[in-house]
Structure 1
């Protein structure tokens, strides 16, 4: 698609642009790094707008720019008169020259800006046409309180019926258009989670569902049993019950219009990845499986490591919240130091070096903490395995927790001991994630982040690969810099209100989407 005019003529082009509006890309572009030190001289965040001279009149052009944490930018182009909205643009900064390029509409704007100047002045270029253009600065308008943009896809609140009478409350998002579309069910990590899989200020499944649906993949996500608006007894959940829920969700998708029944898959995170693989070995399997950070070791080994790390997702809410707050406080402190460096003129290389050093220090401190805690956790687990009576086991656990962790609040001692004697915990201690995987015949994508501190890819990925060696269609990837929550390195987080905000790794999003719906298929 070319902007403003082609050989077809102005009137024909306007019709074509309106017709093609539905297919215009609406997601943010990949960031383009600025030249070293450029952001110390030029501040670009805001909205730049002005009239573009065209034969027969003028068109209002707006470019919105958001600065990122690594001296890079998100930029998007709006041309309201031609109904072009949030078209992605690449940004290149060299000295006082700022170049905007959009491959989608075939245009380029090469401009200059003096330090703190209120305008960008330069030349607009597209095939067969060049003209001078000046864009004036205005701050990005804040959205109204509680305002949410209506996404460009269908949203439906649904209920999934499980054979045991449980009702799972969920959200089905379907791309715009007639379909049929591939679809995927999202399965959460261990512990009780609602459909968006929230973690502090980050919604893992909410972000993933939005991206996939915008890119022609329908998504079903739901609240876990006994959580949110789903019914069921959350205390009785076990991994086999989670497999049953996954199968019910797949069966639900098989009844829906607009979906391609030959391309209905499961995508799980953590334990959800193991659940997806187990469901794929059962009758009526999914068409494909995407596993994000699934474990490859026996359950008690995984739990001992998780609890030693202080990040067992299945821990009581009080323990999870306390650990999340500790992590967030530490990350905020690092972000503040990095922003202070930016404000005093540090370039992107210096900031990246600082963040890498902080990450190494955190790893070193974390390793020492894990080693000290691991023996304690293994002792606690042995108590559970050797004591069948829950009341007796809880009493022993409470006493040992007080001895091991004198600073632990009394309420947390009680809730932790209760959690460690739940049906799920007792089952998971002897859970083998590899059992039955030889029967998986559908295509499988195994993704692990190299910075995953909770599910170490070096320990967990090889056993999964070995168990699936006869699959015939297995893809395995280690994503550089990605952590367990599938966030990119902090240096790649966008700045919102001057603060770095966690996001789903763009590399992971593209990898997942392109595997489910290869570019050749997406173009059809």
Structure 2
């Protein structure tokens, strides 16, 4: 669902730009027709505003960064930052498209379907222009040039987010997956980004296939963090190619997340792996797969069935329990972290278990009754705080929940046990577990993971990293609501483990 459908006026038109992840399914295309500027060597930082004819929001503050090319014949890059506020979710390091510079006039467009067009002319330290929204409405744009330190005060602090110029090449890729998923029963296009190192590294490159969370876009964006973009950047600087992709129903990939099973996701990943192996710039004897969260489950499944054998497997914050058990243990960890009493936690989890058991059995009447009981218990436990649901709201919630639990996605996830795949793996494996992971908590995943991996490979590396959340970020609580407040996208310890492991097993200097 597009959020812009629910935001009135020109603010809704702008939402398509300001709500999109920085590089969600988009790789900068070759920029033609641009006039090279006369070889500046420093970035230009421009802060200002877009004026809006709205009563609730009169202007949108923004920062535009102009980045000079690496060579006199190259083209400029432009980044857009929007500081988040009560009425705007913000944007961080969004790379603009179709950059043109003619004397002191700069033009570029947003990298999304809306293609919002920016145009302004510099006059000393000031600039004026327009933003054309949706090809129809022109809004005034006012800017002034400032030092970098002042500009960064209006940007989200994301020091690891890659910013151009990049010392590597990015290529947009589309792969047709062999997995046919009802009701379409046809090949599904998957949008991806292939990253290739620049000299001094030479072909054929070792490569890493990055497999993300269920239903996530290729950068795994959350809270203005882009962990897979950070990983791809670090790998390229170390001489490794990488391929990351949008899961079904996200970014530029087709399909429907709710209709996608674990088996279909594994087939999708296999299609991307085949593309890597067929590329003459990639060394097929030095390919790794890396999975984050549910992507780690898919990575283990893929490693189990892939021939010839892969070079290595990297599992980040994966689960080692069935899907249903993982939901219960996730809820237990979060309720404990919130300070709930043992008695309340036990009663809450008993009701959640009844819901999952009914869903797993495919018993819709029992499922509806279990969800209704969960709602009743939750309303009573709140002791009047916030009020309860009206009958129509309760019925709508039950219907939506039943639809979710009965989807192919959930019917595949709930009974799935990753242990057989983990036990079968004999190739070099690195697993990183986060001490504050409230999605796959170490209390119920660390020891089963160690035991399962040791069955096929006693030399498998498993590391528990203290103070990190599910996404391997240094954190205070591990809850999702603090992610936007965090500065680091991936803890340097995790990056060091990943790069050291990959270099060692790829025999790469």
Superposition TM-score, scaled by structure 1 size: 0.57
Equivalences for residues 38-187 of structure 1 within 5 A: 140=149, 142=151, 149-164=164-179, 165-177=187-199, 178-187=202-211
In 2: Cα distance, 1:295 partner to 1:464 partner: 8
In structure 2, what is the equivalent of residue 459 of structure 1? 444
Contact 2:368 2:398 in 1 (8 A): no
Per-residue CA distance 1:266-314 (angstroms, 9 max, x = gap):
1001121121112111142432110011111122111222355679xxx
Contact 1:442 1:473 in 2 (8 A): no
CA change 1:141–1:259 in 2 (3 A) is farther
In 2: Cα distance, 1:241 partner to 1:473 partner: 30
In 2: Cα distance, 1:304 partner to 1:376 partner: 10
Structure 1 vs Structure 2 CA RMSD: 3.6
In structure 2, what is the equivalent of residue 94 of structure 1? none
Unaligned runs of 5+ in 1: 1-59, 62-79, 81-137, 312-360, 492-498
**Does 1:431 find its partner at 2:416?**
yes
In structure 2, what is the equivalent of residue 330 of structure 1? none
Contact 2:355 2:367 in 1 (8 A): no
Deviates more, 1:362-371 or 1:378-387: 362-371
Q: 1:399 aligns with which of 367, 372, 375?
A: 372
| Partner SS for 1:447 | strand
In 1: Cα distance, 2:448 partner to 2:506 partner: 32
Cα drift, residue 489 of structure 1 = 3.7
In 1: Cα distance, 2:461 partner to 2:250 partner: 33
In 1: Cα distance, 2:461 partner to 2:212 partner: 21
In structure 1, what is the equivalent of residue 490 of structure 2? 504
CA change 1:368–1:271 in 2 (3 A) is farther
CA change 1:362–1:433 in 2 (3 A) is closer
In structure 2, what is the equivalent of residue 112 of structure 1? none
Contact 1:209 1:219 in 2 (8 A): yes
CA change 1:280–1:454 in 2 (3 A) is same
Contact 1:308 1:373 in 2 (8 A): no
CA change 1:208–1:404 in 2 (3 A) is farther
Unaligned runs of 5+ in 2: 1-40, 43-69, 71-146, 157-161, 180-186, 380-387, 478-484
In 2: Cα distance, 1:366 partner to 1:213 partner: 48
CA change 1:366–1:422 in 2 (3 A) is farther
In 1: Cα distance, 2:207 partner to 2:343 partner: 43
| Partner SS for 2:305 | coil
Contact 2:205 2:283 in 1 (8 A): yes
Deviates more, 1:404-413 or 1:376-385: 404-413
CA change 1:207–1:299 in 2 (3 A) is same
Contact 2:351 2:374 in 1 (8 A): no
Cα drift, residue 264 of structure 1 = 0.9
In structure 2, what is the equivalent of residue 42 of structure 1? none
In structure 2, what is the equivalent of residue 252 of structure 1? 275
Q: 1:481 aligns with which of 445, 467, 470?
A: 467
Per-residue CA distance 1:169-227 (angstroms, 9 max, x = gap):
111111112232211111122x3111111222222222222222222221111111122
| Partner SS for 1:518 | helix
CA change 1:401–1:421 in 2 (3 A) is farther
In 1: Cα distance, 2:241 partner to 2:271 partner: 17
Q: 1:204 aligns with which of 224, 227, 240?
A: 227
Q: 1:263 aligns with which of 266, 286, 289?
A: 286
**Does 1:385 find its partner at 2:360?**
yes
Contact 2:351 2:373 in 1 (8 A): no
In structure 2, what is the equivalent of residue 195 of structure 1? 218
In 2: Cα distance, 1:221 partner to 1:368 partner: 44
Cα drift, residue 403 of structure 1 = 1.6
In structure 2, what is the equivalent of residue 43 of structure 1? none
Equivalences for residues 204-223 of structure 1 within 5 A: 204-223=227-246
Deviates more, 1:410-419 or 1:254-263: 410-419
CA change 1:397–1:151 in 2 (3 A) is farther
Cα drift, residue 419 of structure 1 = 1.5
Per-residue CA distance 1:312-355 (angstroms, 9 max, x = gap):
xxxxxxxxxxxxxxxxxxxxxxxxxxxxxxxxxxxxxxxxxxxx
Contact 1:394 1:417 in 2 (8 A): yes
In 1: Cα distance, 2:416 partner to 2:442 partner: 19
In 2: Cα distance, 1:202 partner to 1:145 partner: 13
Cα drift, residue 241 of structure 1 = 1.3
Per-residue CA distance 1:119-167 (angstroms, 9 max, x = gap):
xxxxxxxxxxxxxxxxxxx762637999952321111110122223121
CA change 1:515–1:400 in 2 (3 A) is same
Superposition TM-score, scaled by structure 2 size: 0.58
Contact 1:271 1:294 in 2 (8 A): yes
| Partner SS for 1:517 | helix
Contact 1:181 1:217 in 2 (8 A): yes
Contact 1:304 1:377 in 2 (8 A): yes
Q: In the comparison of the two structures, how many residue pairs are matched?
A: 333
In 1: Cα distance, 2:170 partner to 2:342 partner: 44
